[in-house]
Structure 1
């Protein structure tokens, strides 16, 4: 995560929720431009309800690692466990993921605890070392369990600074051993004036329920696709589909405008697609997380997105493309609980009343002001 956004989220976590809402009420109406994205009729049958949340305690020595930066989550239905990935770039501990046990009580109570951790390993079986001259460790941002093989697919944002490293989609065993790396589309590769912005690359990853297709999502637009969202205009980012190990389709995803205008020009004020989870039939729950640093505000919204009818932009520009449709299901400002920096989403086990559980995880940026939250929602009509 870029430094400006991390600072904004940390400051936002320190402010009272009521004060944040009153600031939004006083905003200039022009600061909150509506989305131009067409809605999907299927949303009429879906509802999301906030159930509750808990925190995972901060620890500087959980099985030899520093706990924090949890940026992606995936439920392993076969083994009834969750995988959670840290975006620590081997700075505090080698790049890694955790396993967790999460339970949702009948009254909406949530319990969560880490049960183990494994490092992500390189081809030679070694751990990823810290940043050094000419070398950039991975920036893990999302994780998904293959429901057929049990392997873990994880995305790396890459690096665009003094060191250049393309974003990556990698496969590991449940023990962390490297299996392979998938090819990425040419559009996602770093080149002069093209490719992803720094720390705004691959952020989300999900399998379809049958495991036949994998989707990976860019957080924000590619350089060639235009500027990031502002308070007056949204933007288009890209979601790529893999069938087998090859990318075979890509869709434009419409990001909302910023919910609030910065007081001053600030490149770190933006809205991005922080994760997604496939529901099947070309539909997804998507997480849009926005921050306006100089207003000390963040906003997290969950949408139903639909790729049916969208233009395949795998080998073309976004000009004239029909984007994915989407409909707002839940603005987390409207829930009764304080919500921090949500970066991961997964479908959990079915609830006793037949609804599907949706589990979110927040990234605390290794900042004492913030928390690692586990948030439970209930999805009906899916």
Structure 2
């Protein structure tokens, strides 16, 4: 989601230098600690303000690991890039569109076991299944209440930002970015779908996630044990971004799909969450910011993917959405997260 109106765009082709700080095994993790649970290995600005095959490489809102080990990076301007997992260099780009050929506000991405792409657009909102070539295969149902007003109770640019398949691939989960009208402003809904024997997805349970005041949820990713990594993010003009990483557990949460208004009522168990790190507490590693930030490492972080394991930690990759704005940066940050 674009956090503020972009008044000017830039298509400069110069790439910012990749940060040369790389973590050695144990000492680097300790020296690069963001918290007891999270450390940062390095960051890369290599794709900032670049183009590939005539397409601007930026506006990145989601990441996924493809079946061949490469990275898929989703632009909210209706493009899906394939990146080399080691160098981040683009290898392909696929344009996306809805059934009428209209560009998407594409925000969430998950890659299914057969390679099909599940992609959200927060305009309606919607979730569609695409082939690797960008052809629409299917469209998932969305509860009426989660649709943007006046059709539903969702706010514009505040719907399906995060998308993830839970372990085993039978359950798909999407996170709303902001609260529905009528719900508490500090509760956002997580919607699930269950895979049928025929391979289609039908509506499943819905959960209440307690978000920090003033923040929204731009991304959610499943962990190998069925819990969730959740990003919470906000922006304050003149101050910069707030980005926090939480571990969340929906497994004992109340199914809220039949509750019209969530206002903190008794009897509703929300998703339990535990703060893993405030990204502002990470070492900056020499990063520079083009606008005020509490930590120059910070930007409009919007995408996240678990890329593997390193001992007892998950390797987690973050990316920021530069909104094609001269004062923002497309930045990849490499974390190690102990859950």
Q: Where on the TM-score scale, by shorter chain, does this alignment land: which range?
A: 0.7 to 0.9
What is the aligned counterpart of 1:198 among 121, 144, 156? 156
> Which structure exhibits the higher relative contact order, with contacts defined as CA atoms closer than 8 Å and separated by 6 or more residues?
1
**Does the 8 Å CA contact 1:193/1:224 hold for their aligned counterparts?**
no
What is the aligned counterpart of 1:177 among 135, 142, 149? 135
**What is residue 277 of structure 2 aligned with on the other side?**
330
**What is residue 345 of structure 1 aligned with on the other side?**
304
C-alpha distance after superposition, 1:204-229 (max 9, x if no partner): 000113211110000000112144xx
**What is residue 26 of structure 1 aligned with on the other side?**
none
**What is residue 68 of structure 2 aligned with on the other side?**
79
Q: Secondary structure at the match of 2:230?
A: strand
Gaps of 5+ in 1: 8-45, 89-94, 104-110, 130-136, 159-165, 228-234, 259-270
Superposition deviation, residue 102 in structure 1: 2.6
**What is residue 117 of structure 1 aligned with on the other side?**
93
The alignment of Structure 1 onto Structure 2 pairs a total of residues equal to 290
**What is residue 29 of structure 1 aligned with on the other side?**
none
Structure 1 Cα separation of the partners of residues 154 and 145 of structure 2: 9
**Does the 8 Å CA contact 1:310/1:324 hold for their aligned counterparts?**
yes
CA pair 257-183 structure 1, distance change in 2 beyond 3 A:
same
CA pair 3-301 structure 1, distance change in 2 beyond 3 A:
closer
Does residue 1:63 correspond to 2:14, yes or no? no
What is the aligned counterpart of 1:237 among 188, 192, 199? 188
**What is residue 278 of structure 1 aligned with on the other side?**
222
Q: TM-score, normalised by structure 2?
A: 0.80
Q: TM-score, normalised by structure 1?
A: 0.71
Superposition deviation, residue 297 in structure 1: 2.1
Does residue 1:142 correspond to 2:108, yes or no? yes
Structure 2 Cα separation of the partners of residues 176 and 67 of structure 1: 18
**What is residue 256 of structure 2 aligned with on the other side?**
313
Superposition deviation, residue 51 in structure 1: 1.2
Which ranges of 4 or more aligned residues in structure 1 deviate by more than 6 Å?
Answer: none
**Does the 8 Å CA contact 1:5/1:291 hold for their aligned counterparts?**
no
**Does the 8 Å CA contact 2:48/2:331 hold for their aligned counterparts?**
no
Q: Secondary structure at the match of 2:88?
A: strand
